């Protein structure tokens, strides 16, 4: 992680890369920086942004920061707040030295709205006129030189996808950095009515001093921005109250005399665009039905559209659960091999145990998810880049709305099937805090890939392969059932929370339908690479730390007397010529005794009264405690608990048998199918994931919501597991 220093002094030159969504901004970013880009943190904003290095002939190495795509500078979603902070340089960020604005040439007038806003701030701007090669296909001609003259900033036609015009762009950036005045118009482009000037002056007077408002042009731009952006409830938590009060008062006063400030400000800019467009824009006759239209006729069709959508989802799931398998197996083998190699080279004892069971297994339990994470991001990337994602929101909106969720909640919910951490990050595109919170609180209920090993272990151990009605495999049915169950609970919880805690309407759906484009594989691959790296570092550190702590809890304190007794019995047995089996049996006993003595064992027995009504014993309790760090830890913890060593996964038949044989003091088996079902229900609902809690805390900036999430999912899990177990017993299924 690199950190951007907040002040201008002593830092490298920084260019902010901004633009509307779907303009090929990220493709250009990758073209200009290669794979050198790192995910960095903006200090104080705690939102990542990708920062790459760009080499220019005379300016040398400069930083290029990829800013989230935005249609305007009036922030509504959390992502847009970051965009605004980065472009305008609101505290704690300093204004960038230059803004490189990507403009979609095929949708010029709409894109120029943001361009006008950015130019108004007084920061030097260079415009990259992207998709230049596609102008003919939409029947439009643009005079780039005339556009540059009208705007007063350099304009360079490029095609990011084909890498055309990039040398000219670098040259223009270099020149603009050397002569900032050449990348700024001499005067404000849009002029306001005298009435609006009064509003601007009054808002400008209320701007805080640390917004660097010495430059009158920047002061006016920020005042306009405040008049348009601030509202009673918005995402702009950092805006001072005095400014908000002034803005609200001006808006009310204007409304009283029949003026609408928003419309006046926005109209001013579009009037400028429409008045000047004839000088640089010529529209030829409309082209015949475009490819996008032909595709949409099928993909948005009420019947075929849904069929295509289900097919696409089927493909995603099939790949997540079966295509990823060989890669997961290979990673598991590699980790096992590496562990054996390392442990063999260490002297037997505590250190070898620690390195093998805690460190290597801990890292391994995270790396194992990589294939699924990579595939998921690959699909999301392809769907977004091709333009299909907007269609999905279009198709799903009615369903989501019926539940009280926003159409945009669909993507995070779907991502939740892989991992809640990236899914929660994906909620940033939502414009209303209510919609975003609601989605964030139900996403952890979706069956993430960490639950898979637990389900796989329990189903394989407790439900023998058989067929329902002679052809439906029961094991597969159970797995699908768990997915359905968790999804339905998530939707039900959203419906309840949306009508109670988060009353109010969700933001009206307003989406752009970008034309279909061939996805740029380079930028999709670069995105997958970066997101996977974030997952490995963010989730990795937490899971590793938890595995280490669990290992410590289960290994200490050691029972010296007990160990000595086992040593004595072992040598007795060996002298008596006991079989390997008997020796192994003794080792198991030794491990179980050590476990009972350990802190973890005591904790497990401590919580036993609370989980007994669910049919769980104290050993399962230890597994549950371990799983509160991360669910997949359950499988390896149960391996340790049952003295199998840490080297177990859901495929280990030994652990399955051990689970089948595990008995209570009275000889009855601990694990009945009913207990297994209750355990799976518990796992489906409880938010046993430190990384999720950590990410919710970071995104909501406080402990309130992560604690709420933890408590409500825990209570729900306990109640549902209780209902399953006690209900099953009452029906005589125990």
Provide the binding-site residues for another protein, judged by CB under 8 A.
71-72, 74, 76, 106-107, 109-110, 113, 138, 140, 228, 231, 262-263, 266-267, 270, 292-293, 296, 300, 302, 305-306, 390, 394-398, 401, 431-432, 507-515
Output the smallest distance, CB 638 to another protein, in A: 46
686 in Cβ contact with 717 (< 8 Å): yes
d(CA 201, CA 222): 11
d(CA 686, CA 516): 40
Closer to another protein by Cβ: residue 266 or 477: 266
Peptide bond into 557 cis (omega under 30): yes
> Which are the contacts of 396, defined by CB distance < 8 A and separation ≥ 6?
407, 410
Output the smallest distance, CB 270 to another protein, in A: 6
Closer to another protein by Cβ: residue 151 or 633: 151
433 in Cβ contact with 463 (< 8 Å): no
Output the smallest distance, CB 263 to another protein, in A: 6
Q: Provide the token pair at 237.
A: 């938590």
Closer to another protein by Cβ: residue 9 or 510: 510
The two beta strands, 60-66 and 2-3, are: unpaired
d(CA 400, CA 413): 11
d(CA 335, CA 285): 62
Closer to another protein by Cβ: residue 72 or 547: 72
Output the smallest distance, CB 233 to another protein, in A: 10
Output the smallest distance, CB 718 to another protein, in A: 38
**What does each C-alpha distance from 711 to 287, 361, 629, 650 come to in angstroms?**
58, 29, 15, 28
Output the smallest distance, CB 307 to another protein, in A: 12
Closer to another protein by Cβ: residue 144 or 593: 144
Closer to another protein by Cβ: residue 299 or 686: 299
> Which are the contacts of 133, defined by CB distance < 8 A and separation ≥ 6?
159, 162, 164
226 in Cβ contact with 203 (< 8 Å): yes
Closer to another protein by Cβ: residue 263 or 576: 263
Closer to another protein by Cβ: residue 77 or 447: 77
Output the smallest distance, CB 253 to another protein, in A: 16
Closer to another protein by Cβ: residue 306 or 463: 306
441 in Cβ contact with 433 (< 8 Å): no
Residues shown for the chain: 734
Closer to another protein by Cβ: residue 394 or 485: 394
243 in Cβ contact with 206 (< 8 Å): yes
Output the smallest distance, CB 189 to another protein, in A: 17
Closer to another protein by Cβ: residue 391 or 619: 391
C-alpha dihedral, 460 to 463 to 464 to 465, nearest 10°: -80
Output the smallest distance, CB 21 to another protein, in A: 11
Beta bridge partners of 51: 38, 65
Output the smallest distance, CB 438 to another protein, in A: 17
Closer to another protein by Cβ: residue 271 or 467: 271
Closer to another protein by Cβ: residue 431 or 632: 431
What is the secondary structure of 157-210 as a DSSP string? E-BTTTTBTHHHHHHHHHHHHH-GGGGS-SS-SS---HHHHHHHHHHHHTS-GG
Q: What is the crossing angle of helices 521-555 and 618-627, to 10°?
A: 140
> Which are the contacts of 427, defined by CB distance < 8 A and separation ≥ 6?
409, 412, 436, 439, 440, 443, 699
18 in Cβ contact with 113 (< 8 Å): no
Closer to another protein by Cβ: residue 265 or 542: 265
Closer to another protein by Cβ: residue 282 or 533: 282
- CA 601 to chain centroid, in Å, comes to 35
Output the smallest distance, CB 90 to another protein, in A: 19
**CB-based burial label for 557 (10 Å; 0-12, 13-18, 19+):** exposed
Output the smallest distance, CB 138 to another protein, in A: 7
460 in Cβ contact with 650 (< 8 Å): yes
Nearest alpha-carbon partner for 696 in 449, 482, 439 = 439
The phi, psi pair for 404, rounded to 5°, reads: 105, 5
What is the secondary structure of 345-378 as a DSSP string? HSPTTHHHHIIIIIIIHHHHHHHTTHHHHHHHHH
d(CA 98, CA 78): 23
What is the secondary structure of 208-220 as a DSSP string? -GGGT--SHHHHH
> Which are the contacts of 364, defined by CB distance < 8 A and separation ≥ 6?
331, 332, 335, 339
Output the smallest distance, CB 322 to another protein, in A: 30
Closer to another protein by Cβ: residue 508 or 732: 508
Output the smallest distance, CB 267 to another protein, in A: 6
Output the smallest distance, CB 631 to another protein, in A: 35
Closer to another protein by Cβ: residue 55 or 297: 297
Q: Provide the token pair at 3.
A: 């950190």
Closer to another protein by Cβ: residue 138 or 607: 138
Query: CA angle, corner 675, sides to 674 and 679, nearest 5?
Result: 120
**What does each C-alpha distance from 719 to 61, 614, 617, 725, 727 come to in angstroms?**
59, 9, 17, 10, 11
Output the smallest distance, CB 87 to another protein, in A: 15
Output the smallest distance, CB 394 to another protein, in A: 5
d(CA 94, CA 663): 65
d(CA 439, CA 412): 8
């Amino acid at each position: 992680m690199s950190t951007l220093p907040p002040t201008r002094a002593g830092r490298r030159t920084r260019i902010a890369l901004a633009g509307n969504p779907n303009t090929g901004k990220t493709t250009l970013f990758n073209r200009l920086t290669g794979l050198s880009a790192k995910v960095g943190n903006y200090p104080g904003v705690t939102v990542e942004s990708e920062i790459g290095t760009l080499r220019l002939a005379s300016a040398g190495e400069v930083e290029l920061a990829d800013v989230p795509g935005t249609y305007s500078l009036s922030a509504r979603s959390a992502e847009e707040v970051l965009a605004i902070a980065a472009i305008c340089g609101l505290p704690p960020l300093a204004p960038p030295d230059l803004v490189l604005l990507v403009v979609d040439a095929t949708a010029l007038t709409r894109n120029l709205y943001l361009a006008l806003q950015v130019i108004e701030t007084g920061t030097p701007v260079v415009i990259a006129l992207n998709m230049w090669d596609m102008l003919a296909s939409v029947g439009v001609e643009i005079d780039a030189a005339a556009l540059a003259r009208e705007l007063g900033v350099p304009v360079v036609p490029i095609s990011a996808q084909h890498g055309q015009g990039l040398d000219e762009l670098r040259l223009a950036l270099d020149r603009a950095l050397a002569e900032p005045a050449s990348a700024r118009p001499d005067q404000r482009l849009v002029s306001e009515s005298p009435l609006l000037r009064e509003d601007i002056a009054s808002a400008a007077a209320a701007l805080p001093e640390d917004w660097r408002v010495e430059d009158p042009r920047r002061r006016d731009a920020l005042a306009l921005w405040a008049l348009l952006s601030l509202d009673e409830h918005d995402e702009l938590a950092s805006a001072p109250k005095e400014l908000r009060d002034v803005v609200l008062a001006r808006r009310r006063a204007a409304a009283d005399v029949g003026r609408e400030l928003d419309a006046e400000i926005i109209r001013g800019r579009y009037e400028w665009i429409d008045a000047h467009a004839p000088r640089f824009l010529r529209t030829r006759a409309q082209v015949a039905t475009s490819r996008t239209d032909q595709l949409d006729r099928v993909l948005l069709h009420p019947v075929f559209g849904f069929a295509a959508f289900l097919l696409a989802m089927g493909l995603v799931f099939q790949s997540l659960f079966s295509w990823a398998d060989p890669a997961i197996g290979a990673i598991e083998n590699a980790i096992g091999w590496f562990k054996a190699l390392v442990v063999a080279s260490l002297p037997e004892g505590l250190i070898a145990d620690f390195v093998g069971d805690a460190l290597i297994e801990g890292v391994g339990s995270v790396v194992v998810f990589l294939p699924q994470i990579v595939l998921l991001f690959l699909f999301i990337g392809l769907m977004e880049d091709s333009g299909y994602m907007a269609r999905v929101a279009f198709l799903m909106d009615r369903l989501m709305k019926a539940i009280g969720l926003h159409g945009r909640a669909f993507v995070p919910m779907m991502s939740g099937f892989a991992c809640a951490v990236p899914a929660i990050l994906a909620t940033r595109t939502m414009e209303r805090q209510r919609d975003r919170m609601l989605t964030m609180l139900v996403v952890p209920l979706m069956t993430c890939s960490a639950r898979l090993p637990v389900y796989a272990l329990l189903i394989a151990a407790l439900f023998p392969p058989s067929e329902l009605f002679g052809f439906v495999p029961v094991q597969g049915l159970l797995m699908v059932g768990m997915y359905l169950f968790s999804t339905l609970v998530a939707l039900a919880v959203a419906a309840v929370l949306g009508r109670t805690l988060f009353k109010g309407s969700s933001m009206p759906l307003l989406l752009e339908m970008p034309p279909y484009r061939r996805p740029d594989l380079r930028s999709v691959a670069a995105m997958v690479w970066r997101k996977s790296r974030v997952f490995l570092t963010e989730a990795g550190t937490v899971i590793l730390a938890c595995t280490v702590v669990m290992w410590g809890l289960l290994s200490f304190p050691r029972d010296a007397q007990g160990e000595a007794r086992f040593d004595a019995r072992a040598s007795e047995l060996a002298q008596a010529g006991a079989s390997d089996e008997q020796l192994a049996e003794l080792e198991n006993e030794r491990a179980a005794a050590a476990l009972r003595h350990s802190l973890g064992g005591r904790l497990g027995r401590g919580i036993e009264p609370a989980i007994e009504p669910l049919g769980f014993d104290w050993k399962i309790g230890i597994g549950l405690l371990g799983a509160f760090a991360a669910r997949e830890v359950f499988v390896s913890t149960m391996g340790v608990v049952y003295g199998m060593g840490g080297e177990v996964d859901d495929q280990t038949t030994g652990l399955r048998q051990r689970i089948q044989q595990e008995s209570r003091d009275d000889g009855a088996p601990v694990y009945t199918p009913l207990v297994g079902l209750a355990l799976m229900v518990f796992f489906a609902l409880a938010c046993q994931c430190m990384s999720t809690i950590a990410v919710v805390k970071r995104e909501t900036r406080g402990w309130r919501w992560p604690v709420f999430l933890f408590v409500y999912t825990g209570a729900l899990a306990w109640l549902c597991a209780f209902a399953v177990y006690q209900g099953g017993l009452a029906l005589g299924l125990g």
